[in-house]
Amino acid sequence: MTERAPAPDVRVGSTTDGLTPISSASRQLGATWHQWVSLILVAVAALCADQLTKAIVTTRLDLGDEVHVIGPFSIHHVTNSGIAFGLFARATPIVILLTSIAVAWMLYFFARSGSRHPVLPVALGLVIGGSVSNLIDRVRLGHVTDFIDLKYWPAFNLADSFIVVGVAALLLALIAADRKWSDQRALLSRPHGQSPRL
Beta strands in the chain (DSSP E): 66-70, 73-80, 144-149
- Rounded CA-CA distance 155/24 in Å is 51
Which of the following is catalytic: 50, 137, 146, 149?
A: 146
* CA–CA dist 78, 144 (Å, integer): 9
Let me know if 149 is a catalytic residue. Answer: no
Of the listed 17, 160, 178, 183, which one is catalytic? 160
CA 112/CA 30 separation, integer angstroms:
4
Query: Backbone dihedral region of 144: left (phi > 0), alpha (psi from -120 to 50 degrees) or beta?
Result: beta
Concerning whether 146 is annotated as a catalytic residue, the answer is yes
Tell me the HSE value of 48 on the side-chain side, using a 13 A CA sphere.
6
Question: If you write DSSP's letter for every residue of 138-184 in order, what string do you get?
Answer: HHHHSSEEEEEE-SSS--B-HHHHHHHHHHHHHHHHHHHHHHHHHHH
Positions marked active-site:
146, 160
